[in-house]
Amino acid sequence: MLKLISSSCIHRLNPAAVPVLRPASDSASPLLRVLNSLGGLSRSNRYLGGRLFFCSESESGDGPDHVVDAEAKAAEETPSKAASSAIVSTYPRPEDYLTVLALPLQHRPLFPGFYMPIFVKDPKLLAALQESRDRQAPYAGAFLLKDEPDSDPNVVSSSDTEKSVYDLKGKELFNRLHEVGTLAQISSIHGDQVILIGHRRLRITEMVSEDPLTVKVDHLKDKAYNKDDDIIKATSFEVISTLRDVLKTSSLWRDHVATYSKHIGDFTYPRLADFGAAISGANKLQCQQVLEELDVYKRLKLTLELVKKEMEISKIQETIAKAIEEKISGEQRRYLLNEQLKAIKKELGLETDDKTALTGKFRERIEPKREKCPPHVLQVIDEELTKLQLLEASSSEFSVTRNYLDWLTALPWGEYSDENFHVTRAQKILDEDHYGLTDVKERILEFIAVGKLRGTSQGKIICLSGPPGVGKTSIGRSIARALNRKFFRFSVGGLADVAEIKGHRRTYIGAMPGKMVQCLKNVGTANPLVLIDEIDKLGKGHAGDPASALLELLDPEQNANFLDHYLDVPIDLSKVLFVCTANVVEMIPNPLLDRMEVVTIAGYIADEKMHIARDYLEKTTREACGIKPEQVEVTDAALLALIENYCRESGVRNLQKHIEKIYRKIALQLVRQVETNDDAIEPKKAEEFFDEMGTTTIQKGNPVLIESGNSEHTNENAKLDEMETNPPADQSLRVDNKSTDMEVTKEEEDKETESKTVEKVLIDKSNLDDFVGKPVFHAERIYDQTPAGVVMGLAWTAMGGSTLYIETKFVEEGDGKGALHITGQLGDVMKESAQLAHTIARDILREKEPENTFFANTKIHLHVPAGATPKDGPSAGCTMTTSMLSLALKKPVKKDLAMTGEVTLTGKILPIGGVKEKTIAARRSEVKTIIFPSANKRDFDELAPNVKEGLEVHFVDDYMQIFDLAFGDEKSHNAEK
């Protein structure tokens, strides 16, 4: 190969006449033939790699002078060929440009004969480049940008990569440029992208103008060299040899060589050096060193070092690729061996897929519970594990058995949480969470006391009944906390599928155990507290009757062996404490109700609601809204008005919603107050500050001035920006003086902020409407003194209880026209009570006033307001009778009197329900005297003292006693005050 190189003349052909690489049979360059033969180059490949590309023809002038002259001459003699090339021949020639625009290059220098795209962000520089191109002078100087002082050129930080080189201007940019660069032709401009083609080396001599940066340059030529020098030949041959080795491993290099050799023309020693340095992966400083070297031999040596280093990198790359390939092939080999091992074990019956590992997992899970686990359950688990070994993993039975074993081994067999039987602690916890509810708390404490004496607690079924919002569900949580039991809640409202309780059969796809089995798995203990919510709203559908399915779950005699359809093994639920909740006990089926111990929560009176609102609801809501106690005050009168006029129901859920509504509006009011104060102060200070500076005057309403927190910092930045644009003569003095003034202003502002306090929000009865709107409920009492024919009764409602007026009016009078007309959305029972009352009233009137023929000759109309509300029940019988007698006698009943009781045809008074609710309703209407049946005396005695306070209660068992009390008889029967 050396002989081949020595017998040829490298630059004997005119490059302008040979635009592409010639075949080996032509008199092309020996170096080019060597690269072509060694690299297997293809003329059809065009590759633009990285940031460096290749021009179609080089007029670099880096070779000897006669080469440059030959190129110029060829360009003049063959204008048609020059016009077809990428570089358009222009006049004057490139070497005539002694003043050029300076383009900074950030990443790598541009070598002669190469393309490079750059992005120009500076509009002035871009316009200057476009103007130069339009003037048929499309040349500029491309110079590499020096690194910042004290920075490592080999370390690239994110700030360096994101920073634009065109942030540098004028002299600062001139000082950062390397002296030696490349004269570049502006090939094309697309937007802010400029395509440059390197021609020849330049050296900066001085700066001409700053914006855009224009410099004077000297055109550099390579030093003269002897092309027949053996050392130069040997060095170039070593470069080619190294390139050949790299070409074997890197297809990227082959594409570089193919594209370059196709467009470069003749391959001279200087161009070989530039080519090796340009396509190497060396850093920009090493490439700049090659660009600055004018000695061809030294440049070849530098390029040889770079390609040798590239060869070492290629070897490392090949080693890494080989290691990764071996790793991948090793993993494939291991996979094949594992598959073969599985097949061998399967043939020998040693293992079937992963069933051994799965079985081991189940055995490991059940092992700690084996001593506590019932024997019949252990037997089923062992049988299923044996069955699992015999099943194929692809069969459907395999997945069913696996899921079954997963549930069986996950249940807490014999694992119980340690209960706390400390009665005082339980009392404290219950009082912390709930106010009142003495009956419920006593029942829970009794349960704990029995458990402490026995040493163990047996599960009971407690049913908490009461209207919505009285805290039934939260009581269940408090009981669990007091007993130190795990808590699990599931609602059965609307439940119509028995499988939700008893589980599905395992034969069904997607079968699951019932709620109780899921509960035990979730809580991890066999003695949790299970809250069954809304048990009175159980549904009944085509999938069975869930209420009947609950019998086995809630029956203390049966739940010790509860059988779930999915597990199909008995489960002991006797240690589980069941707490059920219901709104209406009558909706619960009797067989299910018989298994429960009902604890009634009648609701809260106004006093209890006041305590709950103060001690629980208000505190929680205030913290949730981020309001401090000293910022707001809600008076007792406001809370009482809220309870009586907006939240009259038995529960406190609606009361909590109204309190939350009040505090949300308070929060909005406080925030608006603070922002209004800030907006009133900050713009004024900013205006004064800018006026004193004398630089500009800020108009009111500028959004910059409404920022809170850093207003003065913002003003200072605006001031400095303004001073940079128009710097005053005494800038430093004014800034120093102003900074002192700013410190004084900030101190004054801090003092003013500290002295400024937000006004306290007061919620009173007078302004309660502004927060919650107009009252929902009005006074139930329609009459201060009921007229003749009108009597106040007491009724139970889902909201706790209310007063009920019975009104009777005569329609017409005449012989034999006695009749009764009834209105008011009354139910069948209440209609019958009205007929019954009419008969009793006629009998009593005949006895009291035999000559009075009112009922015989008068048609009367009985109405029960409100007319749109359905009403039913027998407890209004005595009230209807009294109303008719009052009309017949034309005598009103005693003032502030209310009564309730079912009356029989003989005048006996039968007991009623809802004593507490009716008593609360009477107190709310300011009733002083109440008449109850004698049988309800026991219920009234159990009421709290605050409920009975201030009431005169009479207990009667015959209607004549009511007659005496209602119509002014001074006799008192069984009265309690």
Which amino acids are annotated as binding site, given as ranges? 466-473
Q: 41 and 4 in contact (C-beta within 8 Å)?
A: no
The answer for 118, left when phi > 0, alpha when psi is -120 to 50, beta otherwise, is beta
Residues at the binding site for ATP are: 466-473
DSSP structure string for 430-480: HHHH-SS-HHHHHHHHHHHHHHHHHSS----EEEEE-STTSSHHHHHHHHH
Check if the beta carbon of residue 880 is closer than 8 Å to that of residue 959: no
- From 187, 478, 875, 934, active-site residue: 875
- For the beta sheet containing 897-899, the strands, ordered from the edge strand earlier in sequence to the opposite edge, are 819-823, 858-863, 802-813, 790-795, 897-899, 929-933, 952-956, 975-976
Amino acid type, 299: R
Is 84 designated active site?
no
Work out the angle at residue 158's Cα, subtended by the Cα atoms of residues 153 and 159, and round it to the nearest 5 degrees: 80
> At residue 726, what is the residue type?
N
Residues with Cβ within 8 Å of 405's Cβ and at least 6 positions away in sequence, in order, are 362, 381, 384, 385, 388
In angstroms, rounded to a whole number, what is the distance separating the alpha carbons of residues 129 and 661? Answer: 68
Instruction: Give the span between the Cα atoms of 791 and 719, in whole angstroms.
Output: 83
State the residue for tokens 């083609």.
197
Give the residue from 792, 967, 959, 804 showing the smallest Cα distance to 886.
967
Q: How far apart are CA 604 and CA 607, in angstroms?
A: 8
Instruction: List 463's β-bridge partners, or say none.
Output: 580, 598
The set of residues, in sequence order, having a beta carbon less than 8 Å from that of 261 and lying 6+ positions away, is: 21, 32, 35, 36, 41, 267
- Residue by residue, DSSP assigns 580-631 as EEES-GGGS-HHHHTTSEEEE-----HHHHHHHIIIIIHHHHHHHHT--GGG
How far, in Å, CA of 698 to CA of 939, rounded?
A: 78
Residues 6+ apart with CB under 8 A from 642: 613, 655, 658, 659, 768, 772
Q: Which of 667, 660, 656 is nearest to 628 (CA)?
A: 667
Q: Which of 625, 928, 969, 939 is nearest to 781 (CA)?
A: 928
CB 363: neighbour CB atoms within 10 A?
15
Residues 554 and 532: their CA atoms lie apart, in Å, by 10
Residue 99, beta-bridge partner list: 216
Please confirm, yes or no, whether 875 is among the known catalytic residues.
yes
Integer CA distances (angstroms), 759 to 183, 201, 453, 766, in order? 75, 78, 58, 18
For residue 94, the one-letter residue type is P
Q: Give the whole-angstrom CA distance, residue 478 versus residue 489.
A: 13
Task: Give the Cβ contact number of residue 532 at 10 Å.
Answer: 26
The one catalytic residue in 301, 486, 719, 918 is 918
Contacts of 449 (CB under 8 A, 6+ apart): 421, 423
Residues facing residue 207 across a β-bridge: 215
SS3 345: helix
Query: How crowded is residue 859: how many other Cβ atoms within 10 Å of its Cβ?
Result: 15
For the record, the structure tokens of 707 come out as: 């920022």
CB 34 within 8 A of CB 10: no
- The DSSP secondary structure of 879-910, one letter per residue, reads HHHHHHHHHHHT-PPPTTEEE--EE-TTSBEE
Residues marked active site are found at 875, 918
